[in-house]
Amino acid sequence: MKNFKFTKNYITIITLLIVTTISLSCTFDEEFDPNRPSLEGILTDASVNQLNNLVVGVESGMRSGISGQTVHSGTMARELYVFDADPRNTGDLLGANGATLDNNSFYSSSVWAAKYRTIKNANILLEAIANTTSIDAQDASGYKGFAQTVIAHQLLMLVKSYGRARVDVSDPTSPGPILQESEVLSSISSILDQALSDLSGAGSSFAFPLAGFSGFDSPSTFSKFNRAVKSAALVYSGDKSGALSALGASYLDLNGDLTIGPKHVYSLSSGDQANGLYKIVDNNGDQIIVHNSFITDAESGDSRVSNKTIIRSDPTTQDGLNGTHQTKLYASNISSIDIIRNEELVLLYAEANIPANSSEAVKALNIVRNAAGLSAYSGSTSESALVDELLKQRRYSFWCENHRMYDLRRFNKSSSLPIDRSGDQIFNIFPVPLTENE
């Protein structure tokens, strides 16, 4: 599966299934297309090929909304600015002149819609599995473990942006309530445990291909990804001992390659999509500009600064904001984006060991520091000092990767962010879309 790509042929079926509105109270028109399988046909007795096309669509859908979620949260967390033609990117998101976030704007609705489209398609896959005679119980367990793990991951992404989410959406005509963060995180853990149980009964191989999960594309190796997602959910919920247990069953490797892990893959093939976070160097009018503090606050010699950013030949300004550097995080518009890499697991391991085992936390922090060309940590080992060091390493390891806003929010440190213009405000959470009618 090394060369497997999302292509138009594989995406065709899923376009019939994707929810086209951001409301969960969706319906499907009863139409018959002789050239494409109907939803009813898939849910009644899907073939293996139809099930596998659903898997491709679900994995492809995991990529949806990533660019927007990353730059919108990154702007609010003063990691970056988006300099383009839309004034809301430098206005609303920064609270310019007393502005408030709009619950009916693209930055509040797009991620919600994207994640629930993927969850919807995963639920269709689960329903199709339950109603087909094309596969045996072992293969069914593999499909279920995959779908449930993806649902849990998408819910985790919703928590990061909105601090809450609907968990029960299996019946789109009557979805469950919007739950608060702690309830969602608890549900994520339960979903992942059920998925792990299914994966354990899936045999030695999946009956379907996966594009971005090279090395994690069998039930046993995909289970490691499942545990990686759970470790993040448990760290976020404060269950550090549980997180350490999950990390032990993941692909955490304190002595290994920090880049290892599943990835979102892209291509320029017809029907596929490109990496929207790639930007041409020195391009004007559509650019991700690095917040100046990311440069000035960095320790001398930190290779993450030079690896992720580049000085522009012409420092740029927009709406009273300015920057000397732009992103060079991705080499091209088909570069992959990490889902969870080993570097993140190492820092989750560090966090899970604060404050109970400070020496182990420092050991993990030093793995990341040393990899970035920095000397070993020599500061205080008090809880507050180690948290500050953790947040610093997460800031530089995960710049422009949709972590900073949530990290500051969960540690109640959003107020430490700089205000770049008089009248700007700090926001650290997106409003649930208006269409949800809470």
Residues 323-355: pLDDT tens digits?
A: 999 999 999 999 999 999 999 999 999 999 999
Instruction: Collect all residues with Cβ–Cβ distance below 8 Å to 174 and sequence separation of at least 6.
Output: none
Can you say how many angstroms the Cα of residue 434 is from the centroid of all Cα atoms in its chain?
23
In the chain, what are the domain boundaries? 8-270+336-418
- Residue 145 · residue 229 · CB < 8 Å: no
For the segment(s) 8-270+336-418, the CATH number from 3.40.50.720, 3.90.1300.10, 1.25.40.390, 3.40.50.620 is: 1.25.40.390
Distance CA 106, CA 110 (A): 5
| Of 112, 339, 367, 394, residue with least CA distance to 226 | 339
From residue 221, alpha-carbon distances to 66, 139, 145 in Å are 24, 16, 12
Sign of the C-alpha dihedral computed for residues 198, 202, 205 and 207 taken in this order: negative
pLDDT at site 37:
59
Distance CA 195, CA 193 (A): 5
Distance CA 78, CA 61 (A): 28
199-217 tens-digit pLDDT:
999 999 999 999 999 999 9
Distance CA 286, CA 34 (A): 42
> Which residue has 């990353």 as its token pair?
70
Per-residue confidence in pLDDT tens, the chain, 438 aa: 344 445 444 333 444 444 333 333 333 344 434 445 578 779 999 999 999 999 999 999 999 999 999 999 999 999 999 999 999 999 999 999 999 999 999 999 999 999 999 999 999 999 999 999 999 999 999 999 999 999 999 999 999 999 999 999 999 889 999 999 999 999 999 999 999 999 999 999 999 999 999 999 999 999 999 999 999 999 999 999 999 999 999 999 999 999 999 999 999 999 899 999 999 999 988 999 999 999 999 999 999 999 999 999 998 999 999 999 999 999 999 999 999 999 999 999 999 999 999 999 999 999 999 999 999 999 999 999 999 999 999 999 999 999 999 999 999 999 999 999 999 999 999 999 999 975
Instruction: Collect all residues with Cβ–Cβ distance below 8 Å to 158 and sequence separation of at least 6.
Output: 111, 112, 115, 164, 165, 184
Does residue 355 have a cis bond before it (omega within 30 degrees)?
A: yes
Token pair recorded at residue 332: 């091209």
Sign of the C-alpha dihedral computed for residues 200, 266, 114 and 318 taken in this order: positive
From residue 21, alpha-carbon distances to 17, 27, 109, 113, 366 in Å are 12, 10, 10, 7, 46
Beta strands 164-166 and 178-180, pairing class: antiparallel
Rg (CA), the chain: 22
Token pair recorded at residue 14: 């899923």
Mean residue pLDDT of the chain comes to: 92
Long-range contacts of 416-420 (CB under 8 A, 24+ apart): 417/77, 417/78, 418/78, 418/293, 420/78, 420/94, 420/320, 420/321
- Residue 212 · residue 262 · CB < 8 Å: yes
Length of the chain as a residue count: 438
